[in-house]
């Protein structure tokens, strides 16, 4: 019940935004929560974020549902397909959440180095000036931050 209370609202909003179909969204959320109940090890935090796992399951349930409908020719027309978020958009949203979860596991120094270097696109010199540290330290932190991020993503099951 705690799992439902904590995640059902966000999962439903996500599923409804993707599917624009209340019934389909409810089914996807129910299936995700059922799978979590059947596989508690998947959400215990040892393999990554429970939230990311649940959102991935919801996305996969919706994708399976769309594929079933397409195979059975149950769609109501091509205009419906234009309103549904495509698999690329869904995949990008889930990857963004997974990356945010992975970044949250990094040390402050590593997260800061990646933020300035990748998100803001600053040069080594700009980062060094901003953080008031030597350029060599910026290079080192960025290098080890990327290694740490890869390790975290591997633990979460996103990178092999």
Which domains are seen in the chain, by residue range?
1-97 (1.10.1740.10), 105-160 (1.10.10.10)
More confident residue, 134 or 47: 134
Q: For position 88, what pLDDT does the model report?
A: 65
What average pLDDT does this structure show over 34-49? 76
Return the axis-axis angle of helices 135-156 and 87-104, rounded to nearest 10°: 120
| Cβ atoms of residues 98 and 54 within 8 Å | no
- Both tokens of residue 87? 């698999």
- pLDDT, average across residues 32-43: 81
Considering 8-22, 40-54, 73-87, the range whose residues carry the highest mean pLDDT is 8-22
Whether pLDDT at 120 is above 70:
yes
Buried b / exposed e across 63-94, counting CB within 10 Å, b at 16+?
eebbeeeeeeeeeeeeeeeeebbeeeebeebb
Cα dihedral angle (126, 132, 135, 137), rounded to 10 degrees? -130
Residue reference for tokens 């290079």: 139
Q: What is the pLDDT of residue 136?
A: 96
66, pLDDT greater than 90: no
- What pLDDT was estimated at residue 75? 44
Q: How high is the pLDDT of residue 74? A: 43
Please give the residue that has the higher pLDDT: either 82 or 47. 47
What does the pLDDT look like over 68-105, one tens digit per residue?
A: 777 665 445 445 444 555 666 777 777 778 888 888 88
What's the rounded Cα separation, in Å, for the pair 83 and 143? Answer: 42
């Amino acid at each position: 019940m705690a799992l439902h209370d904590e995640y059902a609202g966000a999962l439903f909003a996500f599923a409804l935004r993707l599917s624009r179909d209340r019934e389909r969204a409810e089914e996807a959320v129910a299936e995700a929560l059922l799978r979590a109940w059947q596989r508690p090890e998947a959400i215990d935090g040892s393999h990554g974020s429970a939230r990311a796992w649940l959102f991935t399951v919801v996305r996969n349930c919706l994708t399976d549902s769309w594929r079933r409908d397409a195979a059975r020719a149950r769609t109501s027309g091509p205009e419906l397909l234009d309103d549904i978020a495509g698999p690329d958009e869904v995949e990008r949203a889930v990857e963004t959440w997974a990356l945010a979860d992975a970044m949250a596991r990094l040390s402050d120094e590593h997260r800061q180095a990646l933020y300035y270097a990748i998100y803001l696109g600053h040069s080594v010199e700009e980062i060094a000036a901003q953080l008031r540290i030597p350029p060599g330290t910026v290079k080192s932190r960025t290098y080890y931050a990327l290694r740490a991020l890869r390790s975290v993503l591997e633990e979460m099951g996103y990178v092999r």
